[in-house]
Amino acid sequence: MINLNSYKEDPFSFFAEVVAGKKNSAQDKYYKNRLNSLTESVKLLYEDYDLAFQNNTLQYLECCGFTGDEKEDLLKLYSFRAKAFQELKIKLTTIESNRIISTCQNCTIGEISSFDHIVPKSEFAEFAIHPKNLFPSCSKCNEYKSISWRDNNKRLFLNLYLDKLPKDQYLFVKLNCSDSKLEIDFYIDNINGIDDELFSIIEYHYQKLRLCERFKENSDLVVTNLINSLQSAIKFSPLDIIIRTSDELSRRNQKAFGSNYWRSILEISLVSFEPFLRQFVLK
């Protein structure tokens, strides 16, 4: 899990670009007229969003209350598959190395296949296509998050544009080997003294998106690849050298993909777990 850079251009210009690409239809000859009549109101609301985003206080936003045709017209602007949104996805997922991240950073498991609306569009139709309100996400994270995002003006989920992720480890894994069966359980713990408010958000984020459960469900590929890698290397190098090399690689990946990258944490734990080596690698 790493932070992504938010949209750097003028957000309202993106809104205007999407609106400009819309056309009237035979069934709705006044769609563009209705959109154009909303432009000035939306522009002012975008300024409110931008200020709240700058101050990381989105949880205090008050919805404008668009209803009826106005709300539907604004919601119809959003289409993940449309060219403007696919280009936006590329901008948001291109990192400093000029490589594109294709994995949802809310979970680091699924492929990006949608945008998460940080402020839900069902409540805030005016921000349905605000580019700073759209976070590249997998469909499963979107499903689990649904429309929940705040509780009594308290933010519930990480905003990976704004919340600086801690370098301290909070994700851990418990391993157990019994009767040639490997049991894996992920859990989070604030043993390293992360700020209480931030950790509370991390904790809810992981619980609501079922991350520890999903990490476990996706562990087999990691374990199998690790076993195959270690067993292949044993033919050519001493075990202690192989373990140090594997550990070094995992820590490099951890540095690249986040201090709490679940795959690296699992790999590092496994190569230092003697029962795993004895029962699965050296058998």
pLDDT tier at 83, thresholds 50, 70, 90 = very high
Res 180 pLDDT > 90: no
Res 126 pLDDT > 90: yes
Structure tokens at 129: 């296509």
Q: What are phi and psi of 164, to 5 degrees?
A: -70, 115
What is the reported pLDDT for 32?
Answer: 87
Q: SS in 3 state form for 169-231? A: CCEEEEEEEECCEEEEEEEECCCCCCCHHHHHHHHHHHHHCCHHHHHHHCHHHHHHHHHHHHH
- The DSSP bridge pattern shows strands 181-188 and 171-178 to be antiparallel
pLDDT above 90 coverage of the chain, percent: 82
CA-to-CA distance for 52 and 69, rounded, in angstroms?
Answer: 27
Q: Which H helix or E strand runs over 84?
A: helix 83-93
CA-to-CA distance for 15 and 136, rounded, in angstroms?
Answer: 18
- For the chain, what is the mean pLDDT? 93
Between 198 and 25, residue with greater pLDDT = 198
When mean pLDDT is compared over 26-35, 145-154, 198-207, 226-235, the highest value belongs to 198-207
At how many degrees (to 10) do helices 239-257 and 219-234 cross?
Answer: 140
Question: Stretch 54-79: mean pLDDT, rounded?
Answer: 92
- C-beta of residue 128 within 8 angstroms of C-beta of residue 74: yes
Q: What are phi and psi of 244, to 5 degrees?
A: -65, -40
Compute, in degrees rounded to 10, the torsion defined by CA atoms 155, 136, 4, 104: 90
Write out pLDDT tens, residues 242-283.
999 999 999 999 999 999 999 999 999 999 999 999 888 887
What is the reported pLDDT for 29?
Answer: 80
Question: Stretch 96-110: mean pLDDT, rounded?
Answer: 92
Write out pLDDT tens, residues 3-13.
999 999 999 99
Write out pLDDT tens, residues 17-40.
999 988 887 778 888 889 999 999
What is the reported pLDDT for 63?
Answer: 86
- C-beta of residue 281 within 8 angstroms of C-beta of residue 230: yes
- C-beta of residue 89 within 8 angstroms of C-beta of residue 8: no
pLDDT tier at 163, thresholds 50, 70, 90 = very high
